[in-house]
């Protein structure tokens, strides 16, 4: 378990245990569940596992935060019970996943929600505003200095140093890179796409923890990373201007975007329409949101694995609370929470 997750669990003490201990509808099956995938949800998985062990004594989760691509690949290959992924299965994986699920559809459940922060380390500067267009120019290398006129115009009254911008990107195959590029493409003239970030500008680091650690160590660095990792390293987080003035990634501004989610999948297969999400242009709304999926078999597990998957997801939904928020995630609520509850109950 990460230090941050340990701190959150230890600070809440018995409150977390009491809440987990009252989870209803668990099967009583005990065993070890195996998951793999997105590092963006690692801190959430650590927290959910802590609660899972409390609520279902004798059960536990082993989660390998190897990246979204690896998680999907090993889920399709039947090597793990579920995948954590910031992006849905690729078209050529859908049928293979159905075969892995003994002829049943694999469902995408957007269970872990977190804003993607534009995190920076710039000595002497705590507050920073950036328009989406300026963000794209920084990561493409069109803007290379912190005192560039475009950045200065968006930060009147702020003393910006004449310092080179050090761009840090994910070097591994990453759902965060995929979603960040989808966002830039939906709102700017950004041309590249996919889970591999362009390597022409800046330097790469592995995983969410890797990029945030690099930024912490380099004055003048900037990256895109889940907000929880930025907070963990005490990095600056820019307010982004999506067209109606600078907006910080907060519970309220992210939930404003979540309220408007639409899906391309049908029924309980909740694949988020990212084009609609990332092109949102509304006041007090932060649409640069990472909706991390738990990819599971809708049916086709053996009985023990099915029970463990459903128990873990049930406990996870019961843990959408202030402790999860302290880790940098947005607790699901309302209509979206209800949709997830129904999907978990429908796994057979």
pLDDT in tens, 14-64: 333 344 456 888 999 999 999 999 988 998 999 999 999 999 989 999 999
Do 128 and 161 have their domain in common?
Answer: yes
Do 26 and 100 have their domain in common?
Answer: yes
Examine the pLDDT at 4 and tell me if it is beyond 80.
no
Burial 268-303 (b: 16+ CB within 10 A, else e): bbbbbebeebbebeeeebbbbbbbbbbbbbbebbee
Do 126 and 249 have their domain in common?
Answer: yes
Please state the domain count of the chain: 2
Question: What mean pLDDT is reported for the chain?
Answer: 91
Do 238 and 147 have their domain in common?
Answer: yes
Q: Which of 25-34, 172-181, 202-211 has the lowest mean pLDDT?
A: 172-181
At residue 332, the pLDDT reads 87
Higher pLDDT, 176 or 130: 130
Do 146 and 29 have their domain in common?
Answer: no
Would residue 298 count as lying in a domain? yes
pLDDT digits (tens, 9 = 90+) for 64-86: 999 889 999 999 999 999 999 98
Do 30 and 146 have their domain in common?
Answer: no
Q: What CATH number has the domain bearing residue 318?
A: 3.40.190.10
Do 242 and 305 have their domain in common?
Answer: no
pTM of the model: 0.76
Would residue 144 count as lying in a domain? yes
Would residue 284 count as lying in a domain? no
Do 121 and 109 have their domain in common?
Answer: no
Would residue 7 count as lying in a domain? yes
Residue 176, domain extent:
116-253
């Amino acid at each position: 378990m990460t230090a941050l997750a340990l701190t959150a669990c230890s600070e809440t003490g018995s409150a977390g245990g009491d809440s987990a201990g009252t989870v209803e509808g668990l099967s009583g099956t005990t065993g070890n569940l195996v998951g793999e995938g997105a590092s963006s949800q690692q801190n959430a998985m650590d927290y959910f596992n802590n609660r899972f062990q409390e609520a279902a004594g004798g059960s536990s989760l082993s989660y390998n935060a190897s990246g979204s691509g690896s998680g999907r690949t090993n889920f399709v290959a039947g090597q793990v019970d579920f995948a954590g992924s910031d992006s849905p299965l690729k078209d050529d994986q859908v049928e293979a996943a159905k075969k892995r699920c003994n002829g049943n559809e694999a469902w995408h459940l957007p269970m872990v929600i977190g804003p993607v922060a534009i995190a920076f380390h710039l000595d002497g500067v705590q507050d920073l505003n950036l328009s989406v267009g300026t963000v794209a120019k920084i990561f493409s290398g069109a803007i290379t200095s912190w005192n560039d006129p475009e950045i200065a115009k968006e930060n009147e009254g702020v003393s910006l140093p004449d310092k080179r911008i050090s761009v840090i990107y994910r070097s591994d195959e990453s759902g965060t890179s995929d979603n960040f590029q989808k966002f830039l493409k939906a709102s700017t003239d950004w041309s590249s796409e996919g889970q591999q970030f362009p390597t022409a500008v800046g330097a790469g680091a592995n995983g969410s923890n890797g990029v945030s650690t690099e930024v912490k160590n380099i004055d003048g660095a900037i990256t895109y990373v889940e907000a929880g990792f930025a907070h963990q390293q005490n990095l600056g987080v820019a307010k982004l201007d999506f067209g109606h003035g600078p907006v910080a990634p907060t519970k309220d501004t992210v939930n404003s975007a979540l309220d408007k989610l639409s899906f391309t999948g049908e029924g309980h297969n909740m694949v988020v329409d990212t084009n609609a999400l990332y092109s949102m242009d509304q006041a007090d709304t932060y649409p640069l949101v990472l909706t991390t999926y738990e990819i599971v078999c809708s049916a086709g597990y053996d009985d023990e694995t099915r029970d463990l998957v459903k128990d873990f997801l049930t406990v996870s939904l019961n843990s959408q609370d202030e402790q999860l928020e302290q880790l940098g995630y947005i607790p699901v609520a309302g209509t979206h929470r209800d949709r997830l509850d129904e999907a978990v109950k429908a796994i057979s």
